[in-house]
Structure 1
Amino acid sequence: MNIRQNSAQRATREHAAHLGDFNVKPRMLAIAGLAIPVGAAAALAAYGLLKLIGLITNLVFYQRISTEMIAPGAQHHPWWLILTAPVIGGLIIGLMARYGSEKIRGHGMPEAIEAILTGGSRVAPRVAVLKPVSSAISIGSGGPFGAEGPIIMTGGAIGSILAQLLKLTADERKALLVAGAAGGMAATFNAPLASILLAVELLLFEWRPRSFIPVATAVVVATMCRWLLLGNSPVFAVHAPAVTPGAFTDVMALIPGITGGLLAIAATALVYLAEDGFGRLPVHWMWWPAIGGVIIGIGGLIEPRALGVGYDVIDQLLTGRGTVSLIIGILVVKTLIWSISLGSGTSGGVLAPVFMIGAALGAAEGGLLPHATAGLWAMCGLAAVVGGVMRSPLTGIIFTCELTHAWNDLMPLVVASVSAYAVSVLLLKRSVLTEKIARRRLHLTREYTTDPLETFFAAEVMHTDPVVLAADDPIEEVLPRTRFATLYPVLDTDEQLVGVTTRNRLALHAGGDVAASAVDARAVVHPDDTLREVANKLAAANVTYAPVVDRGTPTRLLGVIAFEQLLHARRRDLHEEHHRERVLTLLDQRPAARRRPPRFRHTENERATESSADSTSTNT
């Protein structure tokens, strides 16, 4: 039959199989419906976290009761307060982590990734309470962290808890976990598109409607809730002219891009150097955040504006109002205390510090680069460091645009973020997120490519002339010609498939005929199934062989396919990745003699040769 025919029908079937469920549409809509309350709850959690951070900051540094977001270093404070507040906060976090849940340690995103990869997207309910409280204590006592990492874990916990209360699959729990995380991000920064991209680039590990639509639904709901609670103005509004920067400015954006990538590498290395250093201390990890608090306090004495979330400092840098002393202080002090204290295992996010460090880098270079719009180079530095530290270039670009609404500056931001990402990929093995996952002995890949199993069909790789057994043959005659770990189709006198058997089953029914040992095949493949569908069928049935039958006539045997033949697609993929050849040559040059590239389709001659070899081996 012609495998390339009936493409519309086959595409529909492959799409359903790709989603893993033929009833995927109702399930997808159901999960999207559940994402609505998850998004709303995540927005409320983000609002509550911001207010809690403001409350603790005001209590610790200003001795007043207020939920207004204010920086610890906005006014002068006694030296002993700046030095001791982070230490006491770190001690409380250490106690909460040891006697509450160790999952509150860290900046949230690796923990969410670990829950997705190894925990079946299950998050303990207590994490939903302890994580925001511990982060508010950390940030409110001067910790140089952001609120986004904790809200990712908290929003993810909300989605996961709802999913655990219902009868859902692990993939559906993942969709709701990521929906809550992305919703919390959108509500925190009023950046819905960047939050969706962050979910795709860092958390989902797939690009499928079954997860993308629920995540987008939660983000939209969370953003609308944020508008009601906090307004819809940009977090860091800049004055953006109506014209776009010129080509020269776009090229100059390579400078903050490359330097941002190098800074991202240095900061990532410093984080894990600090983590290794804390790991060698002869004290329990419960005390590490308090030791990290000492470093935070010393840094606060040098540059008080480096403490806390620092949204006001980011606003000054992005709008071109940062002084030289502030820029240098943030670039040096903030980078050091953030990296070292994060390595201590305290609770807090990474995005806001990365925003501040990147903006400071761009602002510092702005004095040397050609004059552009106010804050442009700071925005380029922000996008670059996000792209380098998080290995999420699209998120860095869109985050910067949504935070500032400076959409006319899109092109230099693309140049800066992508060039920093390139530098990070070339010089750094893993990002600040994936390194933490790798240290927990988890493999993580974030490369999205077409599955090579989707490009081949069963008819193209199957054995078309397999060894078959007649139903009425005596088992004593055929048993010596069989092999272990091989599936044998059983045909009746009309050449119709009546079942399958193996050497073990034949031995169990010795004394009878082959029909007595035949059973229905646990997996049946059709010739127009993709190899991905074949792999799914073999895995679901826990078998390594399957008969290939005609779709319209299920008793008509066309061949046999084994799991080894699935490697055919992988060999083709490796060939296309590594085999180099010159396809076109100049007219005045004679093409050099080339060895014929390997063929990846089974020709009739090859199949006949394989069948002859199999027959010889079987007879032997």
Structure 2
Amino acid sequence: MSAGIGALAPGGRTGMRRKLELGDFTLTPRVLVITAWALLVGAAGAAAAFVLLKLIGLVTNLVFYQRLATDLVAPGAHHPWWLVLFAPTVGGLVIGVMARFGSEKIRGHGMPEAIEAILTQGSVVAPKVALLKPISAAISIGTGGPFGAEGPIIMTGGALGSILAQGLKFSADERKALMVAGAAAGMAATFNSPLAAVLLAVELLLFEWRPRSFIPVVAAVAVAIYGRGLLLGTAPIFPVTVPADLHYPISVNALAVVGGVVGGLLAVVATWLVYRAEDAFHKLPVHWMWWPAIGGLVIGAGGLIEPRALGVGYDVIDQLLTGRATMGLIVGILVVKTLIWSLSLGSGTSGGVLAPIFMIGGALGALEGLFFPHVFPGFWAMVGLAAVVGGVMRAPLTGVIFTVELTHVYSAILPLLIAATAAHALSSLVLKRSVLTEKIARRGLHLTREYSTDPLETFFARQVMAPLDPGRPAPAPGDSLVVDDGATTRHVAYLLAEDGRGSALVVRTGADGAVEPVGTITASDLLKARLHDLNEEHVRVRIFAAGEGALP
């Protein structure tokens, strides 16, 4: 037996299963096949983003301007009151009907639904979701819904990747790679933000940091960015001009902590509002099909107070990030947008969360900029944007990179990182879950965002096995599950799980190829690695003994 390879004995509980190899959990040439298909998924994601943005523009122009056009425009402030009030209501009603008689998966803002498909459905998404999700999102946003296109494009792009994988002989992990590749491709093409899209995939969707999934995602994003350049151009979405020799003094970075804490508080409030609203809708004595229409009525009422809070709001975000927003706009967005977004999102309508968070965070930062020292127009709005994304999404790196890729102000990375991390810390301390993971938890699933090295990967079988008693004969290798003493305990755990046995024989292979039994290993022995990890986290000792100054 070659070193490190586990074998299933003849007659063992193998059925039709193949033999588990150590290489099953490392990068293999198979990733090249997945990456090749990911290139196609990336192109499809870019096309889906283009279609979705044009659909949003089409519905907005038809509803609010009664014209046939596809340019992204704001609903505007000079429409009849009844149109502002009831357009979102009718849009919500249409979405409710589509969800009830089409697919309930179109409800929500996209990312929790994608996460659920990955966690519980083997990354299988029904083909009709790829059609109905962008249409429902276009209706929701185009009729005034205060949402973004990114959540729907994540679900749509992910559905396209999943559909392709379903037609091929792929494992669930391989389908996940293509599904997330499609989601990230759509996101990258929507915002012209390749690195942020990849980080979002890692922080929110993949649940791993492995070459086997990372490489296909990057390949898809690269193709999507190239496709976006052909379809929508390559300019930043919200370009900000700053001096070439700009310097950020320590006082600015210190105030970035303050901005991050305030952004974290706003993230906590917004998240709390979303789920209190969801709880309230669940108590209504009407079918959930009617909830989006009721949420639409809330949106319309907010639009009567601040019409610029309606729609995707890219024009408002641009004003905030370039320092051109008035006090009335800042306060109106901060109050009205936060309320109508939070309350209507709880109704289960269709629409994304990132663009509204961009706007709300930008408004908060712009308000802080009235009191903080001037750096350049829009700087504090950028800080607020990164902070609120870090707090609401619990994805601080994604928030930072999104901000710099949207504006191309790469020199601001440090204060943005400080603010996003401060917001993330406060949100994590106050709330058990984010706006995404709370919805997953309410569906009976457990989800963690803490990535760490598996302690079973750091121990070998020889370190936890029970040595053979010299006075007793060793079990015959042909009658036992056999593992090499150089196998990791993680690999042993997989072998035990696959074979259905509670123990295995550990052998050492000599230089001459001879196999020597050296011990046995059981499932309980594997807990020694877990106990070591637990002790490292919780056992506190003073390394330098008092008065000695030397290591023990």
Instruction: Summarize the alignment of residues 126-137 of structure 1 with structure 2, pairs less than 5 Å apart.
Output: 126-137=128-139
Instruction: Summarize the alignment of residues 350-361 of structure 1 with structure 2, pairs less than 5 Å apart.
Output: 350-361=353-364
Paired AA for residue 83 in structure 1: L
Note the C-alpha offset of 1:499. Answer: 3.3
Partner of 1:150: 152
Partner of 2:14: none
CA distance in structure 2 between the partners assigned to 1:17 and 1:116 by the alignment: 25
Provide the secondary structure at the position in 1 that maps to 2:448: coil
Partner of 1:93: 95
Partner of 1:600: none
CA distance in structure 1 between the partners assigned to 2:30 and 2:232 by the alignment: 33
Note the C-alpha offset of 1:34. Answer: 0.3
Q: Does 1:499 align with 2:503?
A: no
* 2:140–2:350 CA contact under 8 A, matched in 1: yes
Instruction: Summarize the alignment of residues 397-436 of structure 1 with structure 2, pairs less than 5 Å apart.
Output: 397-436=400-439
Query: What TM-score comes out, normalization by structure 1 length?
Result: 0.84
Match for 1:556 among 508, 513, 516? 516
Note the C-alpha offset of 1:556. Answer: 2.3
Partner of 1:188: 190
CA distance in structure 1 between the partners assigned to 2:22 and 2:144 by the alignment: 48
Say how many residue pairs are matched.
Answer: 534
CA distance in structure 2 between the partners assigned to 1:440 and 1:538 by the alignment: 31
Partner of 2:11: none
Instruction: Summarize the alignment of residues 565-580 of structure 1 with structure 2, pairs less than 5 Å apart.
Output: 565-580=525-540
After superposition, the C-alpha distances for 1:401-443 in whole angstroms (9 at most, x for unaligned) are 0000001111110111110001111111100000000000101
* 2:330–2:363 CA contact under 8 A, matched in 1: yes
Distance 1:591 1:36, change over 3 A: closer
Match for 1:547 among 490, 494, 505? 505
Note the C-alpha offset of 1:255. Answer: 1.7
Instruction: Summarize the alignment of residues 214-613 of structure 1 with structure 2, pairs less than 5 Å apart.
Output: 214-242=216-244, 243-466=246-469, 489-490=474-475, 497=476, 499-500=478-479, 521=480, 523-552=481-510, 553=513, 555-585=515-545, 589=547
* 2:88–2:140 CA contact under 8 A, matched in 1: yes
Distance 1:18 1:311, change over 3 A: farther
* 2:181–2:221 CA contact under 8 A, matched in 1: yes
Provide the secondary structure at the position in 2 that maps to 1:25: coil
Note the C-alpha offset of 1:287. Answer: 0.2
After superposition, the C-alpha distances for 1:377-417 in whole angstroms (9 at most, x for unaligned) are 00000000000000000000000000000011111101111
Distance 1:288 1:328, change over 3 A: same
Q: Does 1:103 align with 2:100?
A: no
* 1:240–1:408 CA contact under 8 A, matched in 2: no
Which one has more relative contact order, counting CA pairs under 8 Å at least 6 apart?
Answer: 2
* 1:19–1:210 CA contact under 8 A, matched in 2: no
CA distance in structure 2 between the partners assigned to 1:318 and 1:105 by the alignment: 31
CA distance in structure 1 between the partners assigned to 2:22 and 2:318 by the alignment: 45
Provide the secondary structure at the position in 2 that maps to 1:272: helix
> Equivalent pairs: percent with the same residue?
65
* 2:4–2:485 CA contact under 8 A, matched in 1: no
Note the C-alpha offset of 1:463. Answer: 1.3
CA distance in structure 2 between the partners assigned to 1:585 and 1:550 by the alignment: 41
CA distance in structure 2 between the partners assigned to 1:435 and 1:467 by the alignment: 55
Paired AA for residue 579 in structure 1: V
Partner of 2:12: none
Partner of 1:508: none
Partner of 2:39: 36
Q: Which has the larger radius of gyration?
A: 1
CA distance in structure 2 between the partners assigned to 1:63 and 1:346 by the alignment: 24
CA distance in structure 2 between the partners assigned to 1:416 and 1:94 by the alignment: 38
CA distance in structure 2 between the partners assigned to 1:569 and 1:591 by the alignment: 31
CA distance in structure 2 between the partners assigned to 1:360 and 1:99 by the alignment: 38
Distance 1:252 1:19, change over 3 A: farther
Provide the secondary structure at the position in 1 that maps to 2:336: helix
CA distance in structure 1 between the partners assigned to 2:509 and 2:103 by the alignment: 54
* 2:477–2:505 CA contact under 8 A, matched in 1: no
Partner of 1:484: none
CA distance in structure 1 between the partners assigned to 2:206 and 2:109 by the alignment: 18
CA distance in structure 2 between the partners assigned to 1:145 and 1:288 by the alignment: 16
Provide the secondary structure at the position in 2 that maps to 1:315: helix
* 1:466–1:560 CA contact under 8 A, matched in 2: no
CA distance in structure 1 between the partners assigned to 2:147 and 2:4 by the alignment: 51
Query: What TM-score comes out, normalization by structure 2 length?
Result: 0.94
Runs of 5+ in structure 1 lacking a partner?
1-5, 471-488, 491-496, 501-520, 597-620
Paired AA for residue 531 in structure 1: T
CA distance in structure 2 between the partners assigned to 1:381 and 1:18 by the alignment: 47
* 2:4–2:22 CA contact under 8 A, matched in 1: no
Q: What RMSD over aligned residues (CA atoms) do the two structures have, in Å?
A: 2.0
Runs of 5+ in structure 2 lacking a partner?
6-19
* 2:180–2:217 CA contact under 8 A, matched in 1: yes
Distance 1:498 1:376, change over 3 A: closer
CA distance in structure 1 between the partners assigned to 2:91 and 2:183 by the alignment: 25
Partner of 1:55: 58
CA distance in structure 1 between the partners assigned to 2:64 and 2:21 by the alignment: 57
After superposition, the C-alpha distances for 1:249-292 in whole angstroms (9 at most, x for unaligned) are 11111121100000000000000000000000000000000000
Provide the secondary structure at the position in 2 that maps to 1:556: strand
* 1:458–1:531 CA contact under 8 A, matched in 2: yes
Instruction: Summarize the alignment of residues 115-134 of structure 1 with structure 2, pairs less than 5 Å apart.
Output: 115-134=117-136
Paired AA for residue 204 in structure 2: L
* 1:244–1:409 CA contact under 8 A, matched in 2: no
CA distance in structure 2 between the partners assigned to 1:466 and 1:157 by the alignment: 56
CA distance in structure 2 between the partners assigned to 1:103 and 1:219 by the alignment: 25
CA distance in structure 2 between the partners assigned to 1:449 and 1:17 by the alignment: 23
CA distance in structure 1 between the partners assigned to 2:254 and 2:25 by the alignment: 48
CA distance in structure 2 between the partners assigned to 1:546 and 1:68 by the alignment: 65
Provide the secondary structure at the position in 1 that maps to 2:506: strand
Provide the secondary structure at the position in 2 that maps to 1:90: helix
* 2:46–2:225 CA contact under 8 A, matched in 1: yes
CA distance in structure 1 between the partners assigned to 2:140 and 2:97 by the alignment: 13
Note the C-alpha offset of 1:554. Answer: 6.0
Note the C-alpha offset of 1:360. Answer: 0.2
* 2:4–2:484 CA contact under 8 A, matched in 1: no
Match for 1:20 among 10, 14, 24? 24
Partner of 1:512: none
Note the C-alpha offset of 1:585. Answer: 4.4
Paired AA for residue 112 in structure 1: A
After superposition, the C-alpha distances for 1:532-565 in whole angstroms (9 at most, x for unaligned) are 1111111121211111112345652111110100
Note the C-alpha offset of 1:19. Answer: 6.2
Partner of 2:142: 140
